[in-house]
Amino acid sequence: MAISREKKVQILDTLKKGFSESTSVAFAKTFKLTVAEMSEVRKDLREADARIMLAKKTLINLAYKEVHGEDLPAEVLDGQLAVVFGKNED
């Protein structure tokens, strides 16, 4: 099912906020995770003051480019992709 333009704008804004406010960002391949495993990952990340976000690669790249002024490397954009945003207060 296609997502609406408004939803895409909302996702883009959330991604841009994550890229600009996080102290660490990681990219993860998620194609082999079950729903239960992904729920466990989300729970563990919340405990570490981090979060994972799944989005279309085009939106991830666009948000990254708007915040950092360059495209993500092609090897990062290969396959199913999730972004992990972390805030290290140390």
Find, among 56, 57, 64, 58, the residue nearest to 85 by Cα: 64
The string of DSSP codes covering 36-78 is HHHHHHHHHHHHTTEEEEE--HHHHHHHHHHHHSSPPPTTTTS
Q: How confident is the model at residue 14 (pLDDT cuts 50, 70, 90)?
A: very high
pLDDT in tens, 59-75: 999 999 999 999 999 88
pLDDT in tens, 17-55: 999 999 999 998 887 889 999 999 999 999 999 999 999
What pLDDT does 33 receive? 85
Q: Is the pLDDT of residue 90 over 90?
A: no
What pLDDT does 1 receive? 66
If one counts every other C-beta atom within 10 angstroms of the C-beta of residue 45, the result is 15
Q: Is 85 helix (H, G, I), strand (E, B) or coil?
A: strand
* AA letter at 40: E
